[in-house]
Chains A and B, each alone.
Chain A
Amino acid sequence: MSETLLQLTAIDKCFGGVTALREARLHVRAGEVLGLVGENGAGKSTLINIATGLFPADSGVILLEGKTMTFANTQQAAAQGVMVVHQEADLFAQLSIAENMLLSRGLVRGPGGLINWRKTNTEAERLVADLGEQFDVNQDAGSLTVARRTMAEIAAAVSTSPKVLFLDEPTASLTVKEIENLFRQIARLKAAGVGIVYVSHRLEEILELCDRVTIMRDGATIETRIKADLTMDGIVSTMVGREMTSSSVKRDVPIGDVRMAVDGLTAKDGSYTDITFDVRAGEILGLYGFVGAGRSEFAQGVFGIEKPVAGSVTIDGQPLKIKTPRQAVAQGLAYLPEDRLVQAVFREHALRTNGSVTVLPRLSTGTVISNRKEHVLARKIMEEMAVKAANMEQPIGTLSGGNQQKVIFGRWAATEPKVLILDEPTRGVDVGAKAEIHKLICDLAERGTAIILISSELPEVMAMSDRVVTLSEGRVTGTFNPREDGEEAIAAAAVPRSAEKVVVALSPLQRGLARALQMRELGLIVFIGLLGGYMCLTNPDSFANTNNFLDILKNAAIPAILAQGAMLIICAGGIDISVGSMMGFVGACAALAVTAGVPAPICLALALVLGMACSLLNGGLSLVARIHPIIVTLAGLSIYRGVMRYAMDGKEIRHLPDAYRAIADGAWLGVPKVCYYVIAISFAVHILLRYTLLGRQILALGNSESAARLIGLSKTKLTLFVFACSGALVGFCGVLKPAYYSSVQANLGEGLELQAIAAAVIGGTNILGGRGSALGTLLGAVLVALLYNSLLLLEASTYWQNIFVGGLILLAVSVDAIVQRLRGSAA
């Protein structure tokens, strides 16, 4: 055939003692589509991640076009032409889809290296159109359907003309039409000599598309065969590699009355629609479907994690009130979730407490837990479930996956549920433990529990279920008897057909509200205008004059400058509440220096450097220790203030030299100098954040740390950069304010951190990071200053000012949270 492009040999990889890959191989040729199949946990994803540079192999060789490669990160791999489109693309939700596509692969830049957004969007549109798609690339990625995100990712990957392209379950959420487009694109790439590795659970697709198929099992590459040698059965038996043993077949137990009946259950986001079925006592109902069929979402809906919008559930004839998991459990429902590490295990807590957590009130008198009862329960779980552990105090995180799962199973069995929903109960569990878990499931059924078994492993579903219900695209597509109907029929019913998911639309009012609240800057201008207008009308003399307006701007200046730095830090996902006292400290040092005869410009430079140093210390400490910046900066708040007082020794610093004062005092063209400064700084930050790659990377980091790592961004560098920027601005303010008032008092900068954060948050910065606006921040600071000024003129006591700052922060973040939720439900 054709030449070898990428070759991986003898790849080993361990994660904390668990072997993920053993001597795995992969061999990709130019101009072919190589299928990569295996059960969940067979090691496909790990192999892809190693091939594309996400993490290194423990040992083994990677050859690209005959040359040995070591990829330090995904960007290096991408630069060599090895690219991947991940299954559930981890996106920057608050950045536009166009930016998501092009951020790591080249935003279109114009003169001065500034980003040209118009051309970037056109480019993204073109790429999407190449793939036969058409949608607004300017909308936030978070508001796009998963299918479109996937298509956008594929479009972006294809655009860089890769040599080797990994597609990890690309069709999981696509419709038939989109799949056709994708296949056409794959054929085109193949003709152009690209080596494509196609990972999918959908074996029909593999057989249709691939030239060769590599099959993995338990972390090893079992074999690679050409298409002509392959049948579906052949692939399945190699993948599974073992016959299901007799212990894994469900025992016959008498089937009783209906325990749970589901009628027309529908999710808000359309992930499942009109689900209707029932389960009887002693029965195991297999719920089978592909990734994205809505199985887990359905289970979570019943269990009260995400409330369904329509339909009803009854248990033993009693309508189930679904609001919270607690209510569901109280009414006899139990749910063993799919993702053990994230959704079930308290890693560092003992096996005992992990097992008893669901039944604590039952083990207690009042609120006091009975030690004896808890130990009895823990021992029972260890014995009945055959948990292999040193003792019940062993942290569960140190057990193997199978033993962890048994404890979690015991946790739910202890609630003696009427209905137990098991979501992938044997995922990532070794063969022995798997058989034991199957036995436990049968035991529960024997005692009259109705069981819903969700699994992607068809053989498991076939062997364990009395009945199988297939789900596809969130709808029930059939009910089968696994003893009579064949695997093919069941698999066929589960294959996603077509059709967009039904999304329950937002009411026009909600949508309008969400959109209106998004235009933060405009809203702020209107609000400032209204308040200003009102003040002009009611206080024409004292308010509506140039001096007062300049006063407002002047008062807004220092908080606004600080706020630009605070905003940058917040955008990157951090926070600094010590900027006020840092400003006091730096200001005192600079003023001491200048009164000691150091020339003013040098003092200014000193202040900038000192500010940067303090701020970098904050940022650096939180990075090194991996603790939240709030702790470091909370301590910093006191430390800088204390050091400042020590430096000033209880005295005020007065009579600063004129050269120093000239930095801030005075006016150009009748407008105070500080106003020019604040506008220049805001403009610079605006350019940085909006038009430079660095700025976009800061926002990307704040959006999603994991996705940022995936495209090779350095958290350390970006974090230090924003802290350095903020520090320089803090230093500048530390000079400005004393220079303006010609004195430094012990309370210099006090409370300014709150005003700065308030200005940023009011200006539309997402306090959790990822979104921010320099213009909004400036307007936020002006609004705060205007409010202060108005309160003063209205002769409201100045003592109430704090309430407004605090209240405004609370209001702004609450509005943000509500908007996010409205938009979240729109996606």
Chain B
Amino acid sequence: MIKKILDKREVVLFIVLCILFTGFSMNTEYFLDLDSLLSYSRYWVAPGMLAIPMTFIIATAGIDLSVGSIVAMCGIILGVLYRDYQWPIAGACAAAVLSGTAAGAVNGSVSSLLRIPPLVVTLATMTLFRGVAFGISKADAISNFPPAFKYLGHGDLFSFNLNGNPVFVPSALGALLVTVVIGAFILRKTWIGRYTLALGENPVAALYAAIPVHWLTFGIYTACGFVGGVASLFYTSVYGTARADAAMGLELEAIAAVVIGGTRISGGQASVLGTLLGLLIIGILKYGLDLSGVRSQYVVIIVGVLLIVTAVFNEWMARRAGESK
């Protein structure tokens, strides 16, 4: 019975999350301050949003290393259009989202048409998009965005009182939740999700089962680029500046959340709820370590280790399940 519960990934993750939460709240001052926790979550929206399409990509046994660069590039495009070309902010935002979609379409079309592994394609475009960001910004940081734009990252949906202290719920968090819900819905309830899992489980059989594998691959990477564009708006708004070296290592965080969430790197199985829990675990870990005074550049070590450990664990579990059959 206990074994059966432990076999359910989401339950294990939830337990881990609870342990982390209790551990930090006992050892770290201010950890339980809900308002600052929610406020911190603003910084977590961009990688969180990207983890959702990344779940789909990894479910097809693919990978997208370029998401961090896409976010940086879109942020720069937004900033340059707004500052240097005096575009209205809404227009600049639309252009950023469009560029993200186009970047995703490049990834998708090269990997589906030329049948080059997405790993290679996105490794190249990771550099390419970052290069575009540096090229058009000349490594210059762009700030002074209008207040309306700041609302995206710093605005609040609503606030409530907890023990007499006001707690603000960030609007960005709402956007992240919407992404999660849409992602979970598509994966579980629609044939797009079903096709995605089938493609990851057995790409040859997917082709023979008349699944439009090329379009599907193209669509998933393009969607990831689109979400990257949207995420760049929140990212730029939260940090208040658009920089070409923004969102470095964001791909690691997104991929780690997905893998920790139980989606197999070899494809065929995925869970958006798992990804959400994976996100929460990394987020709590970062927040807690931050409060404990650990510098954020060392936190990536822990994220990296966590990624490897869970990837190894996932494959081990899957193999054990396969053998017991």
Contacts and interface: CB of A to CB of B under 8 A. Distances in A.
A636 interface: yes
B243 to A, nearest CB: 13
B117 A642 contact: no
Chain A interface, >50% SS class = helix
Given A325-B207, A342-B204, A802-B131, 15 more contacts: A335-B208, A349-B201, A349-B268, A358-B210, A360-B195, A577-B123, A621-B308, A635-B304, A638-B252, A638-B304, A757-B123, A799-B139, A805-B127, A810-B125, A817-B115
Interface stretch (A236-244, A361-369, A531-539, A773-781): A361-369
A625 B194 contact: no
Given A631-B259, A797-B138, A809-B124, A639 B300 contact: yes
Interface stretch (B12-20, B221-229, B284-292, B311-319): B311-319
A404 to B, nearest CB: 12
16 contacts: A326-B210, A329-B210, A344-B205, A344-B209, A346-B198, A346-B201, A346-B202, A349-B268, A397-B325, A621-B312, A625-B316, A631-B255, A639-B301, A645-B297, A802-B130, A809-B123
Given A324-B212, A342-B204, A643-B301, A348 B269 contact: yes
A683 B138 CA distance: 39
A162 to B, nearest CB: 35
Given A342-B204, A360-B191, A398-B325, A625 B311 contact: yes
A768 B252 contact: no
B63 interface: yes
B135 A803 contact: yes
B94 interface: no
Interface string A327-341: 011000001010000
Given A305-B207, A337-B208, A634-B307, A810 B121 contact: yes
A631 B198 contact: no
Complex A-B, nearest 5 residue pairs according to Cβ-Cβ distance, in ascending order: A802-B131, A806-B128, A803-B131, A806-B127, A635-B304
Contacts of B201: 346-349
Interface string A342-359: 111111110001000110
Contacts of B141: none
Interface in B77-135: 110, 114-117, 119-121, 123-132, 134-135
Contacts of A636: 304
B249 interface: yes
A814 interface: yes
A298 B129 CA distance: 44
B307 A411 contact: no
Contacts of A631: 255, 259, 265, 307-308, 311
Given A369-B190, A625-B311, A638 B325 contact: no
Contacts of B167: none
Contacts of A575: 119
Interface in A702-752: 751
Contact of A348 (B116, B210, B268): B268
A477 interface: no
A627 B114 contact: no
B117 A342 contact: no
Contacts of A802: 127-128, 130-131, 134-135
Given A325-B210, A634-B255, A817-B115, A346 B194 contact: no
A167 B156 CA distance: 75
Contacts of A16: 325
Interface of B: 63, 65, 110, 114-117, 119-121, 123-132, 134-135, 137-139, 186, 189-192, 194-195, 197-198, 201-202, 204-212, 214, 244, 249, 251-252, 255-256, 259, 265-266, 268-269, 297-301, 303-305, 307-308, 311-312, 315-316, 319, 325
Contacts of B304: 635-639, 642
A438 to B, nearest CB: 22
A802 B268 CA distance: 34
A67 interface: no
Interface residues of A, number: 75
Nearest to B127: A806
A372 interface: no
Contacts of B251: 634
Contacts, number: 209
Given A367-B190, A800-B134, A810 B117 contact: no
Contacts of A369: 189-191, 194
A411 B209 contact: yes
Interface centre among B65, B266, B307 (most CB of A within 10 A): B307
A596 B161 CA distance: 57
Given A635-B305, A757-B123, A627 B65 contact: no
A119 to B, nearest CB: 37
Interface string A626-651: 11101110111111011101100000
B210 A328 contact: yes
Given A646-B298, A809-B120, A810-B110, A637 B191 contact: no
Contact of A810 (B128, B132, B212, B268): B128
Contacts of A326: 210-212
A807 B123 CA distance: 11
Contacts of B315: 625-627
A503 to B, nearest CB: 23
A754 interface: yes
Interface centre among B195, B244, B297 (most CB of A within 10 A): B297
B190 A634 contact: no
A813 interface: yes
Given A625-B311, A625-B315, A631-B259, A810 B204 contact: no
A345 B205 CA distance: 6
Interface in A772-827: 797, 799-807, 809-810, 813-814, 817-818
A189 interface: no
Nearest to B253: A638
Contact of A797 (B135, B202, B249): B135
A150 B207 CA distance: 30
B250 to A, nearest CB: 11
B208 A325 contact: yes
A641 B269 CA distance: 31
Contact of B191 (A349, A367, A634, A641): A367
A501 B122 CA distance: 41
Contacts of A701: none
A305 B208 contact: yes
Nearest to B249: A638
Given A642-B304, A799-B139, A357 B128 contact: no
Contact of B131 (A324, A358, A806, A818): A806
Given A357-B211, A369-B194, A635-B252, A347 B202 contact: yes
A303 B208 CA distance: 9
Contacts of A628: 119, 265
A501 to B, nearest CB: 24
Contacts of B297: 642, 645
A366 B198 CA distance: 19
A366 B252 CA distance: 35
Given A337-B208, A638-B300, A642-B297, A368 B189 contact: yes
A102 to B, nearest CB: 31
Contacts of A305: 207-208
A442 B212 CA distance: 30
B127 A809 contact: yes
A228 interface: no
B258 to A, nearest CB: 11
Interface centre among A328, A627, A636, A637 (most CB of B within 10 A): A627
A509 interface: no
A483 to B, nearest CB: 33
